[in-house]
Amino acid sequence: MSQRNFFAELKRRNVYKVAVAYAVVGWVIAQIATQIFPFLEIPNWIVRLVILLIAIGFPIALVIAWAFEATPEGIKRTEVADEMPATKARKKHAWIYIVVIGAAISVALFLLGRYTAAPRQNASAAPTELAAGSSIPKKSIAVLPFENLSDDKGAAYFAEGIQDEILTKLASIADLKVISRTSTAKYKSKPEDLKTVSQQLGVATVLEGSVQKARDKVRVNVQLIDARADSHLWAKTYDRDLADVFAIQSEVAQEIADSLKAKLSPTEANTMARAPTNDMEAYDLFLKGEFEQRVANSNFQAESFDQATRWYKAAIARDPNFALAIAQLAICQLRRHWLSDPLTDAEVMEAGRLANQAVTLAPDLAQAHVAAGLFHYYGFREYDQALTEFERALQLQPNNALALSFIAFVHRRQGKWDLTLDELKKSIELDPRDPYTIGGVAETDIFLRRWKEAEDFARRGLTIDPHESTCMRMLLLSSLNQTGNAQEPLRLLATFPPDDLLLPNTGMFDMVIGTRGETFVLARDFKAALKACETGTMATTNEWQRFAAKAGIRLLAGDVAGAQPDAEKARELLETRLREHPQDFRALRALSWAYLALNRNADAINIARREVELLPLEKDAVLGSGNLAALAEIQARTGATSDAVGNLRHLLSIPAGETVSIVRLKIDPVWDPIRNDPGFQQLLTAQEHVGP
């Protein structure tokens, strides 16, 4: 058959007509599947199946059109139909009606989807805890906590480690938005309402998983889910030797990247494939350290940091080149130094050596650069060097919310308030349920005396974690400064958990007595303040702090004789401590009050001045303002009234709302000795700095 005859035969047998009609009808069905099925919450796999069947059916329809023809007597083979006499009843143009009607339906469905899908998408993409109107990127994911299915329920740390390593690998991909572990840890392994999870975290997809460990075997189940439609994209089970766990983590991360069509640079591809160590026992010890450090970061207890340190050191003993463990050990020690109990100078330098070793072993390891940055920041307040390291960590791991928040906190120390707020809010986009960073925004607003904004962020953080101490402290301060009523913070305090307010503001005497005691002092309930020193967390803290706190409270209450026994006990302990830790600012603050209670006014003034000299405002806009305010307190209590008023006037003119405000000056008993001074009275009518 010639080519011309073949095409003529196709036309005669209605193959062209069937092809056009099939294409139109198939398009209509595809439009129904893609535009209507999601509205009815029909899973995506059914949509994909319908489209696949349409594609498979097309060549079959053409074959049938060639071989068969519709006649008034039914479907006949084409050869038989050709021999039948022509009939007027046969309709030659019915297919045209099919095409026209199908096209009309198709256009209507397309327009329906085009102009209704966007509103539906926008409605579902407005995260409840993100900025209004923000959209959810398609290439976004949250790795939810992995369920521990091992017989040993104590192996939960191992399941968390698998989840964490997958998340860490994904966080290095610049083309993805990856939510930090701090936020995903708030959820169950398999939440019932994934759409809410999608909205709260601002992600399109989530990864669920489980881990079962038995001797030298491990089974890992993972499934990637479109959280907005609550439909599975893919699922996989890995049954491997325990030694293959790193390969599993890399494969899962690569599968996710492929599914989300994320573009990987060569460096990102290498990071995805890299194993942190070849020693499984070292890795197991490392995961125990990671588990313990997460506990320490939530309770700020030195014992928890020390336990994590022991696990890390055990891991490094097995693999001296385990760069990730070395970096995390340095981070652990430096956070203990900053958040809990200061290290000696030699210990700080050792942490710096570990950080440098980690960078040398693994120059492309983001955590190594975070460790190096913390050494400069926490160790010596070397801000420029710290920023260089944190920014390098962020280049290597663009989704590292922790590095971004550290950059923000460094900028806050430098007094770059607007920049701090912008960076903290960007960090929250990657870690939307991290109450500590949310508390950081509230605290920054407090410094700027933006009381209402601080209240909003503090309440937001407490809805996530009612125990978050920064958010509790900022809510108390915002309440006091908005109402001018010392009873209102007391009402709020009664709603807080009982043992979570040991950490103080970066303020003055409250650095010694803690936020709970300070709240009672501002309300002049000195009996309750003393009781707070003997109960809860304060009862088990450093003896020197407890003795100094009680001495100071009695001094404010006018009980000078009653203050002296505790002040003497505090003095002995503090002088010993400061020989080992000469720059422990909390200990220095406590000693100045112990001297004050012992009527050693010159010594009290000298210690307070020493704090300002060690850390002036120019070097630290946060603690520096607290140091200057603390000096003003001691000056006010020792008769140096004009000096106290001058320092307070300066503090009211700069962002220092966590330490000084007009409302607080009016009610704080610390200022009672100078309350009737004309210069002090002038301050109460002054214009205090508000905003950036």
pLDDT classification of 571: cutoffs 50, 70, 90: very high
Q: Which residues pair with 225 in a beta bridge?
A: 206, 232
pLDDT, position 128: 34
Any idea what DSSP says for residue 215? T
Helices and strands (H, E) in the chain, number of each type? 33, 8
Contacts 24+ apart (CB under 8 A), 60-65: 61/18, 61/19, 61/22, 62/15, 62/18, 62/19, 62/22, 64/18, 65/13, 65/14, 65/15, 65/17, 65/18, 65/19
Confirm whether 486 is domain-assigned.
Answer: no
Confidence class for position 647, pLDDT limits 50, 70, 90:
very high
Residue 657 makes CB contacts below 8 A (sequence gap 6+) with 446, 447, 448, 449, 451, 477, 481, 688
Residues 471 and 531 in one domain: no
Q: Are residues 544 and 614 in the same domain?
A: yes
Average pLDDT, the chain: 86
* Domain co-membership, 328 together with 411: yes
Over range 402-406, report the average pLDDT.
Answer: 96
Q: What's the pTM value of the predicted model, to 2 decimals?
A: 0.77
Q: How far is CA 292 from the centre of its chain?
A: 18
In a domain, 690, yes or no: no
- How far is the C-alpha of 486 from the C-alpha of 390, rounded, in Å? 41
Lowest mean pLDDT among 150-159, 602-611, 655-664: 150-159
Secondary structure (H, E, C), 545-574: HHHHHHHHHHHHCCCHHHHHHHHHHHHHHH
Res 542: pLDDT: 82
Say yes or no: 70 and 179 in one domain.
no
Are 323 and 469 part of one and the same domain?
yes
Domain coverage including residue 391:
280-476
Is the residue at 349 inside a domain?
A: yes
Q: Domain of 590: which CATH number?
A: 1.25.40
- Using alpha carbons only, give the angle 421, 426, 428 rounded to the nearest 5 degrees: 95
Q: Are residues 398 and 514 in the same domain?
A: no
- Is there a domain that residue 129 lies in? no
pLDDT in tens, 365-401: 999 999 999 999 999 999 999 999 999 999 999 999 9
Confidence category of residue 39, pLDDT binned at 50, 70, 90: very low
d(CA 488, CA 153): 45
Pairing of strands 177-178, 147-148: unpaired
- Work out the number of other CB atoms within 10 angstroms of the CB of residue 56: 9
Of the candidates 258, 266, 256, which has an alpha carbon nearest to the alpha carbon of residue 203?
Answer: 256
**Same domain assignment for residues 530 and 597:** yes
SS3 content of the chain, % helix, strand, coil (to 5): 65, 5, 25
Give CA–CA dist 53/432, Å, rounded. Answer: 41
Answer yes or no: do 42 and 165 share one domain. Answer: no
| Separation of alpha carbons 551 and 578, rounded Å | 19
Question: Same domain for 340 and 230?
Answer: no
pLDDT in tens, 142-160: 999 999 998 887 778 888 8
Torsion of CA 369, 290, 164, 388, to 10 degrees: -10
Domain total in the chain: 4
Q: Are residues 218 and 324 in the same domain?
A: no
Could you give the residue ranges of the DSSP H alpha helices within 375-431?
380, 383-396, 401-413, 417-430
Answer yes or no: do 471 and 527 share one domain: no
Instruction: State residue 4's pLDDT score.
Output: 53
Q: Which of 124, 153, 179 is the last residue of a domain?
A: 124
Q: What pLDDT is attached to residue 132? A: 34
Rounded average pLDDT over 24-50: 62
Block residue for tokens 């521990």: 148
* The last residue of a domain, from among 273, 288, 310: 273
pLDDT confidence of residue 34:
61
Report the CATH number at residue 462: 1.25.40.10
Residues 380 and 308 in one domain: yes
More confident residue, 135 or 489: 489
Rg, C-alpha atoms of the chain: 34
Residue 496 lies in a domain: no
User: Over the stretch 433-457, which tens digit does the pLDDT of each residue have?
Assistant: 999 999 999 999 999 999 999 999 9
Select the highest-mean-pLDDT range: 115-124, 258-267, 294-303, 570-579. Answer: 570-579
Out of 17-21, 154-158, 232-236, 359-363, which region has the weakest mean confidence (pLDDT)? 17-21
Single residue among 124, 156, 187 that ends a domain in this structure: 124
| 560 within a domain of the structure (yes/no) | yes
Can you give the CATH number for the domain in which 253 is found?
3.40.50.10610
What is the share, in percent, of the chain residues with pLDDT greater than 70? Answer: 81
| 485 falls within a domain | no
493 found inside a domain: no
